Structure formats: C-alpha cells, structure tokens
Amino acid sequence: MNIRNNIFFLSLIFIIFLYFISNTFFSWITEFPDILKIPIAKYITIFIKWLIEDADLGLFTFKQLTRGIGSLLDAPSLFLKGLLATGFKFEMTNGNSFYFPPLSWISIIFVFVTTAIWLKDYTLTFFVAISLLYVAFFDLWESTMTTFSSIIVAVIIGIIIGTLLGILSYKSKTLNNILTPTFDFMQTMPVFAYLVPALMLFGYGPAAALVVTLIYAMPPMARVTKNALDQVNSEIVELGKMVGCSTMQMLYRILLPSIRPRMMLGVNQVIMLTLNMVIIASMIGAGGLGYNVWQSLKQLRIGQGFEAGIAITLVAIILDRLSQKIATRRPVYHEQKTKFFQKNIYLIIIFLFIIITWLCGNWYSFFYNIPENMTVSSGRFWDGIIDYININYHGPIRLVRDFFYIYLLKPLKSFMISIPWFVVVLLVFTIGLRIQGLALGLKCSILVLFIAMSGFWEKAMISVYLIGICVLLANLIGIPIGIIAASNDRVHRITQVIIDTFQTLPAFVYLIPVIMIFSVGDFSAMIAVVLYAIVPAIRYTDNGIRQVSSSYLEAAKSNGCTKFQILRRVQLPLSLPDIMLGVNQTLMMGLSMLIITALVGTRDLGQETLIALSKVDPGRGLTAGICVAFIAIIVDRLINAWSQKRKKELGLTTSIS
Amino acid sequence: MKKIINRFLKSSLLITLLFGSFYISSIAKAAVPESKDPIKVVIMGYSGDNIIMQIYGELISKLGYNVEYTPADYIGQFAGLKSGDLHIGSPGWDTTAKDVMADAWGSGTVLNMGNIGISVFEDWWYPLYVKDKCPGLPNWEALLDAECAKSLATAETSPNGRFLEGPIEWGGTGGLRIEALGLPIEVINAGSDAALGADIVAAVKRKEPILAWTWQPYWLPAMYPGEFVAWPEYGDGCYDDASWGPNPDKTHDCGNPTGYMWKSAWAGGESIWPKAYDVWKKFTLDEKTMGDLVYKSDIDGVDTMDVAKGWIADNESLWSEWLK
C-alpha cells in the first residue's frame, strides 16, 4: 500500500515538473500538434447531411422514414392539444369548417380536483385547486394545457421505453454494457448539440421536441428499472419459479409489481427532466409555457416570464405528487354485489360534468375562455423589485462582482487554459491508475486525448474552469446547508420546498434578472449555474446523513460523544459516499447548464453548440457535445470508483442507495 | 420448434405493421398538397417582426387560407425554409442575415420575395448621458480618448472600454473595426439577444456609461434616449480593400452599411398556395408606419395581434391592392 502511495506522489511531482518546463522544451506538450487534429466535426456533418439527403433504404429514403416516425409521434400530442387547449377544426370539402371547442377549463380543474379527492389527500386537493386557478386567472390556461399535452405524451412514452430498456438490460449483460455509456451520453450531451440533427430528421414541430425530450428524460427510468430489478428479493423470484411462471408471467406478475415503489422514483425523474426541457422544446415549435417564458424574457418582461415559470413548476409538482399517490395506492376490493354504478361513481360524475360544461361552452363562452378583464398579472411588481435592487444596490454589487472576477475567475481561467494537454492526459491516467487500476486510467486518458484531437481543447478547458468553480462553490455552500437540514426538521422542510422549486423553475427565468444585476460575464453565468447545481449538494448530503443507521449513532452516544463529535466522527465519514454522489450529481447538473452559460456569453463548449445551431452545422454541435459528455464521463467514473472503494473500506457495500 | 416459428411470425408481423404505418404516414403527408393545408408563417417574438407577419397572416386568412403561426429562431428559420418545414419566413435584415439569405436563395429551395420597404440600421449605440464622459460624441473620434474609454470599462476589459456586441453567430465586425481605427476598446459578446437587452436596459436604469450594439426598428432605442456613433460612412470596398478609408492598411475602417428587410419563402409553396405567395410579394410597409406600430406595441403595451388588426382596419385601401 505504501509503495503505491509513494509512486503516486512521485508521479504527481513529475507531472508538476512537466508543467513548468513544458514551455521551454517541448512545444508539442502545450499545443496539440495540428497534424494530429482530426476534423471530427466536419466528418460528422458530412455523414448527417448524407443521411438526410441521400440515404436510401430501398422502399423509402431515410428521411421519409424519420419524418414518418415524426408524424406518428406528432399524432397523440396534437390530439391531446386539440382536446385540452385549442379545439379541433375540420375542413369540409365544400369549404365550410367545423369547430369543436376544447374541453372547458372548469371541467379540467374539476377532473384534477376530483382525482385528488378520490386519492383522499386533502392537502393535495387544495394545492391542485389553487395552482390550476392561478394558471387560469393569470391568463396562462391555453399555454399550460399545450405544455401539459406534450408532457403527458413524452412522459408516457418515456416510461414505456425506459421500462423496456431497463428490463432488457437486466436480462442481457452485453446490452447492459452497451446501454450504460449510451445513457451517460444521452444525459450529459448538451441538448443543443443534437437539436440540429433532430430538426433535420423530424422537422419543426412537436415530433422533434418530443424526440429531444425523450433522449434527455428517458435514461433515468431505464436505470432505475434495471437497478430495482437487480435488487429484487431472491425469495420472490424463487416463489415465481416454484409456481411455474413463464418468463412473461414472471415479469408482469412478480418482478414488475414488486419494484413498483422504486419505479416511481424513475417516473418522478422523467417528469422533472421533461419539464426541464419545456423551454427548449418551445424554441423548436412546441409552443406552450416554455414559449411564454422565452418570449417574455426576450422582451425583458421579467415578471411575466416569472409567472409562466412558476406555472411550469406547479405543473411539475402536481404531476409528480398525483402520480406518486396513484402508484402507491392499495387496490380497493368491492363486495360481489356492488353495481357498476357504485364502483365507478367518480368516473361517472367526471364524465357527466365534462359533457355538460362542454355543451354549455356553446352558449356561454365563459366556459372555455376566461374573459380578458378577469385575468390579472403581477408582472410589473416583479419588474419593480429587480429595478429597485439594480438601481439602489449597484455600488456594493459591482464591488463584489469585480473582486470575484479579478481575484478568482480570471486567474483560474488563465491557469486552466495554460495547462498543457499532455499534462492533463498524464494526470488523469495517474489518478485513474491509483484509484482502481490500469483499465480506468487508460479509459479516462483516451477520452482526454479525444478532446485534444477534436480541436476544441481551449473551449473544453474554459468549460472545465467554469463548471469546476461552480461545482466547488455549490458544494461549499450546499453541503453545510445539507448538514444543518439533516439535524433540524424545520430547516429540512424549508429547504425541500426551495430545492424542488429550483430544480423545476426554468433557469431562463432567473438568468435574465441575474444579468440585469450583475451584467454579462462569467460571474453571472457562475451564479446561474450555482443556483441550479446546489440542489443535489443539499439533497444528497441531507439524505445521506439521515440514512446513517441509528445503531451507529447509539453506539457513539453511549461512548459519550458530543453532538459535534458524532457529526464529525460518525455521520460524516459514513455518509461520505452519498455526499460524493451528490458532488457527482452537482457536476452533472453543472455541465447540463453549459447551454445556459452560453446564452449569457461565455466562450466555451456550450457556445460552440449554440453557434452550430444557428449555422445549421450538426457536426460541430455534436462534436462539442461529445466533448462535454466525455468530461462528464471522466469525472463521473473517477468519483464513482473512489466512492466504491471507500464504501468497501467502510463495510457499506451491501447497502446500495 | 413450433413455438419459435410462432414467435417469429408474430414479431415479423408486428415489425411489418410498424414500418408500414411509418411509410404510409410519411407518404400520406407528401401526397396531399391541397390548398387548405396550413401555411406556416414564422413568428420570432420581436414585436416589429410579429406585427408584420400577423398583418400578412390575417390578410391571407381573409382570403380563406389556413394560417399557422410557427415560432422559430431568426437564423434557424432559414434551415426550416429550405426544407419546407416553414413556409413564409420572417424578414431577414441585410445587416445581419445577408450571408444566410444569400445561401438560402442560392440553394434554389428558398425564394427572394423582394424588399419590404423598410430600411434597417444597426450599429454601436450609447445612451445620451454617456456624452458627459465622452465629449465629442457622436463623432467616433471621441472614443479614442483614454478617459472616455475608462468610463466605459468593466473588470473584464479594464483599462480599455467595453463594447457589448451581440452573439458571435450574428457575425459582428466590432473587433475588426477596433483594430482598423485603433480604438482603446474591447469586444465582449453577449450570448443571446435577451442577455444583450438585459445588460443594456439595466445599465441605462442605473445611469452607467455603456456602449452596445442596437438596431432600428426596435423598442430599445425608442424607449431610452440615445444615439448611434457616427463612423466614416460605409462604401463599397470598405470590407475588402485596405486602401479604402481613413486607415490605408486595414479594412473595416467604417460604419455599418444600411440595408433593408427582405422577404423569403419556401420555393415549393408557390405551386401550392400561389395567391398567398403573390400577396407576400406585393406586401410593403414604410419606416414611419413600422415605427408607429412598434411604438404602440412596445411602449403602449398593446398586444401585437391587436396592433396588426388595428392597422388592417385603418388601411383597407392600401392592402386591397395586394389582394387583387
């Protein structure tokens, strides 16, 4: 053990030495030789252009295939949209048109409220009612219904495909090995990177938005399903075998029902991530609340953007809580003699109500459109607050910002750019080698090599610097908050609400006010990312400490430890793997915010994807996206490996969170 | 054995059905180009462009066409116009989209439908109070003064002044102009138009000196009193010929060219909705009208669709010519 440590430190010293002499001796260490740079971006663009314009599968071209799939995908969300938001227009051959109005807003609110009552959760009922009334009276109803219809389709398809893939990777080890890195990619590549190819393949409209949303939101479902299946109690499986289940029966009647609670975590994540994508989806034609946010912020109507953003958060919470409750319901058994009427009374009432209000809509337009003079907006109020802060507190704000920039951001940025690529490759290799072995070291250093070869090295380093400092700050602030929340229930409840909001409130909403107060630059980008990335830091720390087994705590207490000693010597060391997982997640979230920072004005990989989007250059976007994914994978693997090692040392491997 | 054959048949039937439905739905979409198909009119979100497109949309609705307003990005819409996903494009400005438009028109899949009739102007802009720190403005030589540059400086550019340009993909020439005219200023790019606007408005509200990229017609220069910097006037050759202009060794030693807004449309649509395309070709507006309409929507807060409908109601004699 000691020898390994010594070799490790020696290599570190050597690497640092290399860093200092690199400028004078080996210029190829600092600047990746141009000859070896591969124009990967160009090749990818050529390939995709070929795929779209020329690829022919015999019966039909590739483009026709994808466009066909696109129209199939369009259909359910267009139908739902018509039903809930815009109504249906039918053109007759004689030139007349038929218009079926959408379902009345009153009836939709009624449906949701009744569902909540049926679930016997009265706090939820109240919450649902208030949220939907808010949406209706703040003039956001049609947008919300549009968003809702596309989300429902995305979530349902995401759950189905995710479960299927999860089951398949449970059954087949090869498939699992292929799918795991694929999922990593899908979750870490910036959306804008694959937006252009998606648009080219599926056209402007709900289909492309759906595909893009699915790529981002589906992996958690697959991962959770596989994980849960892995942990199914072997006795249950044996029972199934003993009773003579076929494979299908085993799946449907034994395995899936037993992992249902865990699968709900996957469903929750799919819903949350889908809602994260709402804004980007609206940029490519999906409309809805995302469009409201985007448009309001473009015209600097911060208050209006904020209202639409809150609506998105409310929809997320409603969908999440309702689905959780529905999934964990215990089935209700009726006596044999209850009539159809009694068993399904809720459904019947809802059905009647919908029909009646829909018919009323034909006479009183109030039923399907709240008149303008009854809607309100708090927009000016929020605008006023931002203005107030901007004008009155500008002096100290500018001091803080400049201080941060001059003494922290700028020097760090120059340092990161100046590190020779070769040094980074060696460093990553050595760390991987030390933590787990040759395989890890080689894997990670090859990924670094790819980034160097792609020609995006400097941009990648800027991304690393920016996200690195955000991750550091997010953890420095988040972990202590998590610790406090773990020991104090009141703080815990407050932080839960705050982090749920920050996870679903679109970053755009607080990005523009941040720019107004702190001006365009790395500092504003940093604030936006930290606000988003701090969520997992708090959540995982809080959770991890709370999960420490009480037997440890009792042992410590009976040994006479003070509260602080318990924290420092028992809780923190034992929850370190969970905290590290939180750090890992902070990194993932930080990286996914690269697009947002690009919109502020940084010159990194995120911006490359933006440029690719406007120049319609899919190769450039995809290559930059791959670099981002690689950075994520490298750090994720290293942290994971270290965390696993630590868990083994602490004897915690049997419990997997 | 039977089981395997059974399974095979079942799955191949499923796959055939699946592919069949993809094929049919893709063919179905392509084989029905009758005129009741919705015309996708691009809506970008800027009030000025919105109003133009909504006036057009409402006019062809009067003729019985089925109009679908589709949100899209300013530069990104050209990709959609080329592929036929978008039909009537939002006007492209000579000053920022010249290359993209030339590329689109050159490809044969996008038609140049003519000049709208509104000249546009984009350049370096400053709020009036900046003149206190930089006497001599709007003359560009006022920017050569070190004190002036310092008042425009931020932590990122100090001691040089900061010029806040639009996103890089807009192809700004700020850096080249600074080099050609020897200005003590650095370019910082905002990442998006929203960020650009936010920064400018916030600076103006706290009376902080700022030099930034802005355009007309737009709500910003209409709402906040300011001026454009007066550069040596643009002429042909400024961008390619170094010997042109005040600096004999460098190009880009001049201001921006003025330009116009150009209409574009998907080429394939002309045979599907010929009348609608004809109306678009005839569509024109002048600057004064544009300015008034933008003012109504941005300063007075009227919804753009209502502004559009109001204009239609007041100007029947004008647009009835286009519909003939």
Taking a contact as any Cβ pair under 8 Å apart, which residues of chain A between 215 and 244 contact chain B?
none
Under 8 Å CB pairs connecting chains A and B tally to 159
Average pLDDT for A341-345: 68
Which of A91, A200, A519, A611 is the best mutation test for B, with the most CBs of B within 10 A?
A519
The span from the CA of A397 to the CA of A642, in Å, is 39
Chain A residues inside the 8 Å CB shell of B198: 300, 512-513, 515-516
Average pLDDT for A270-279: 83
Which residue of chain B has the CA closest to A601? B191
Chain A residues inside the 8 Å CB shell of B208: 394
Least confident of A46-55, A329-338, A460-469: A329-338
Set out the domains of chain B in order of their start, with CATH numbers: 39-120+259-323 (3.40.190.10), 121-228 (3.40.190.100)
| Separation in Å, CA of A68 to nearest CA in chain B | 4
| Separation in Å, CA of B52 to nearest CA in chain A | 17
Q: What is the 3-state secondary structure (H, E, C) of A156-186?
A: HHHHHHHHHHHHHHHHCHHHHHHHHHHHHHH
What is the bridge-based pairing of β-strands B92-93 and B259-266? antiparallel
**Which ranges in A455-571 belong to alpha helices (H)?**
457-487, 489-504, 507-518, 522-547, 550-558, 563-566
Cα radius of gyration rounded to whole Å, chain B? 25
Average pLDDT for A23-50: 72
- Across the interface, whether the CB atoms of B76 and A616 are under 8 A apart is answered yes
- Across the interface, whether the CB atoms of B70 and A603 are under 8 A apart is answered no
Give this prediction's pTM.
0.79
Which residue of chain A has the CA closest to B38? A91
Q: Pick from B80, B199, B205: which is nearest to A519 by CB?
A: B199
- Across the interface, whether the CB atoms of A519 and B202 are under 8 A apart is answered yes
Chain B residues inside the 8 Å CB shell of A297: 194
pLDDT digits (tens, 9 = 90+) for A507-528: 878 888 888 889 888 899 999 8
Q: Pick from B22, B85, B194: which is nearest to A297 by CB?
A: B194
- Across the interface, whether the CB atoms of A615 and B169 are under 8 A apart is answered yes
In this structure, are residues A540 and A581 in contact, taking their beta carbons and an 8 Å threshold?
Answer: yes
Count the Cβ atoms, other than its own, within 10 Å of residue B84: 16
pLDDT digits (tens, 9 = 90+) for A221-235: 888 888 778 777 788
In this predicted structure, what is the pLDDT of residue A56?
66
- Across the interface, whether the CB atoms of A601 and B190 are under 8 A apart is answered yes
Amino acid identity at A186: M
Taking a contact as any Cβ pair under 8 Å apart, which residues of chain A between 25 and 84 contact chain B?
59-60, 64-65, 67-69, 71-72
In this predicted structure, what is the pLDDT of residue A424?
87
Chain B residues inside the 8 Å CB shell of A282: 71
In this structure, are residues A547 and A576 in contact, taking their beta carbons and an 8 Å threshold?
Answer: no
Residues in contact with A165: Cβ distance below 8 Å, sequence separation at least 6, in sequence order? A179, A218, A222, A225
Residues in contact with A565: Cβ distance below 8 Å, sequence separation at least 6, in sequence order? A556
**Which ranges in A31-172 belong to alpha helices (H)?**
40-53, 62-81, 105-118, 122-137, 141-171
Is the peptide bond between B217 and the residue preceding it cis, with omega within 30 degrees of 0?
Answer: yes
Count the Cβ atoms, other than its own, within 10 Å of residue A233: 9
Instruction: Copy the structure tokens of residue B115.
Output: 């000049």
pLDDT digits (tens, 9 = 90+) for A309-338: 889 888 888 888 888 787 777 666 666 666
Q: Pick from A199, A391, A601: which is nearest to B191 by CB?
A: A601
In this predicted structure, what is the pLDDT of residue A654?
45
Query: pLDDT-based confidence at A266, cuts 50/70/90?
Result: confident
Average pLDDT for A445-455: 87
pLDDT digits (tens, 9 = 90+) for B209-268: 999 999 887 878 878 899 999 988 887 777 777 788 888 888 888 888 788 999 999 998
Q: Pick from A59, A517, A601: which is nearest to B195 by CB?
A: A601
Report the candidate in B160, B214, B191, B166 with the shortest Cα–Cα distance to residue A521. B191
Average pLDDT for B293-314: 82
| Separation in Å, CA of A520 to nearest CA in chain B | 6
- Across the interface, whether the CB atoms of B194 and A298 are under 8 A apart is answered yes
Answer whether A603 touches B (CB < 8 Å): yes
Query: pLDDT-based confidence at A369, cuts 50/70/90?
Result: low
The span from the CA of A652 to the CA of A654, in Å, is 6
Answer whether A372 touches B (CB < 8 Å): no
| Separation in Å, CA of B167 to nearest CA in chain A | 7
User: What mean pLDDT, rounded, does chain A reach?
Assistant: 81
Residues in contact with B223: Cβ distance below 8 Å, sequence separation at least 6, in sequence order? B298, B299
Residue A10 has pLDDT above 90, yes or no: no
In this structure, are residues A386 and A431 in contact, taking their beta carbons and an 8 Å threshold?
Answer: no
Q: Which long-range contacts (CB under 8 A, 24 or more apart) does B319-322 make?
A: B319/B55, B319/B59, B321/B282, B322/B59, B322/B279, B322/B282, B322/B283
Residues in contact with B281: Cβ distance below 8 Å, sequence separation at least 6, in sequence order? B113, B114, B263
Can you state the percent helix, strand and coil of chain B, rounding each to 5? Answer: 45, 20, 35
- Across the interface, whether the CB atoms of B194 and A205 are under 8 A apart is answered no
Taking a contact as any Cβ pair under 8 Å apart, which residues of chain A between 517 and 556 contact chain B?
517, 519-521
In this structure, are residues A382 and A390 in contact, taking their beta carbons and an 8 Å threshold?
Answer: no
- Across the interface, whether the CB atoms of A517 and B45 are under 8 A apart is answered no
Set out the domains of chain A in order of their start, with CATH numbers: 64-86+103-370 (1.10.3720.10)
- Across the interface, whether the CB atoms of A285 and B155 are under 8 A apart is answered no
Chain A residues inside the 8 Å CB shell of B11: none
Answer whether A331 touches B (CB < 8 Å): no
DSSP A229-248: HHTS-HHHHHHHHHHT--HH
Which of B32, B46, B85 is the best mutation test for A, with the most CBs of A within 10 A?
B85
Q: Pick from A298, A600, A615: which is nearest to B45 by CB?
A: A298
Q: What is the 3-state secondary structure (H, E, C) of A616-634?
A: CCHHHHHHHHHHHHHHHHH
Q: Pick from B22, B27, B206: which is nearest to A391 by CB?
A: B206
Chain A residues inside the 8 Å CB shell of B23: 59-60, 64-65, 68
Query: pLDDT-based confidence at B27, cuts 50/70/90?
Result: very low
- Across the interface, whether the CB atoms of B199 and A199 are under 8 A apart is answered no
Is the peptide bond between A181 and the residue preceding it cis, with omega within 30 degrees of 0?
Answer: no
Chain A residues inside the 8 Å CB shell of B104: none
In this structure, are residues B256 and B123 in contact, taking their beta carbons and an 8 Å threshold?
Answer: yes
Chain A residues inside the 8 Å CB shell of B169: 610-611, 614-615
Which residue of chain A has the CA closest to B74? A614
pLDDT digits (tens, 9 = 90+) for A113-147: 888 888 888 888 898 999 998 888 888 888 898 88
Q: Pick from B23, B164, B195: which is nearest to A600 by CB?
A: B195
- Across the interface, whether the CB atoms of B198 and A614 are under 8 A apart is answered no
Average pLDDT for B60-83: 81
Instruction: Please give the residue that has the higher pLDDT: either A371 or A422.
Output: A422
Give the rounded percent of residues in chain B with a pLDDT score beyond 90. 21
Angle at A574 between CA A568 and CA A577, to 5 degrees: 120
- Tell me the residue length of chain A: 657
